[in-house]
Amino acid sequence: MNTLPTRSSTPLTEAEFDELDRLLEQAEPDEAMLIDQLDGFCVAVASSPQAIPDEEFLAEAIGIAQPIQSPEVPARLVELLRRHRYSVAQRLAQGDDFSAVLGQDETGTSVAEPWAAGYLRGLNLYPDAWSAVDGDEVCEEALDLILRFACESNPDAGEVEPIPEDERDELVDMMIDGALEIHARLAPAREQALKPQTVRHEGPRPGRNDPCPCGSGKKYKQCHGAQ
């Protein structure tokens, strides 16, 4: 069983990204995310108004249910995944310069489809939580562009406007900037989700000498009324 490493937001080095890529492939060759896909996924997870549990994040990234209990998943892999998640979240929260992790083809052109696909996977963990962007023209345009990139290599995507080659680099930058804008605009929804919920008790409050409703047999004043 893996031990739980301390949460660290120290950005990964190039060597650690290479190590992470190898560990992901070794753990689950067919289902684990690529590094650029993972980066887009982490941005969406950090932006979501719904908090994503650690185990769910790891399971989606690695492609293994209950990864903490899986012998195929080394603690080092879990540590690197968590560090990248928290590093992305910290940079976004602090407004630091953000450079997306994007692959390149043989000509040196940025390949944005995996990043965009990873972002949509993060959004689709809890799609209802993203209702705060409904009707927000800026966010909807940003999501449309992310969808266009994500659907580039998907034959089942349907009618999605293709990315013009002469505009690709500019649109990649616009996609990343749009994702950062979504994160900023969802900040109030994230803050609201973190607020403690008020517990409302239905029915009249028991009297001091009434039996405690917990069923202990004691008077209310001697049981929960004394807390």
179-202 pLDDT, tens digit each: 999 999 999 999 987 776 544 445
Tokens read off for 216? 């202990």
- For the cut 70, the answer to whether the pLDDT of residue 151 exceeds it is yes
Q: What is the dihedral angle through the alpha carbons of 189, 192, 197, 198, rounded to the nearest 10 degrees?
A: -120
- For the cut 90, the answer to whether the pLDDT of residue 41 exceeds it is yes
Residue 211's beta-bridge partner residues?
219
Domain assignments of the chain as residue spans, ordered by start? 14-194
Tokens read off for 88? 């992305």
pLDDT of residue 174: 96
Query: Token pair 């209950």 is at which residue?
Result: 66
Percentage helix, strand, coil for the chain under 3-state DSSP, each rounded to 5: 55, 5, 40
> Within 13 A of 183's CA, how many CA atoms are on the CB side?
26
Cα–Cα distances in angstroms (integers) from residue 40 to residues 1, 2, 15, 37, in the given order: 28, 26, 20, 5
Quickly name the fold that domain 14-194 has. Four Helix Bundle (Hemerythrin (Met), subunit A) (1.20.120)
Q: What is the pTM of this model?
A: 0.81
pLDDT of residue 156: 64
Instruction: Indicate the length of the chain as a whole number.
Output: 227
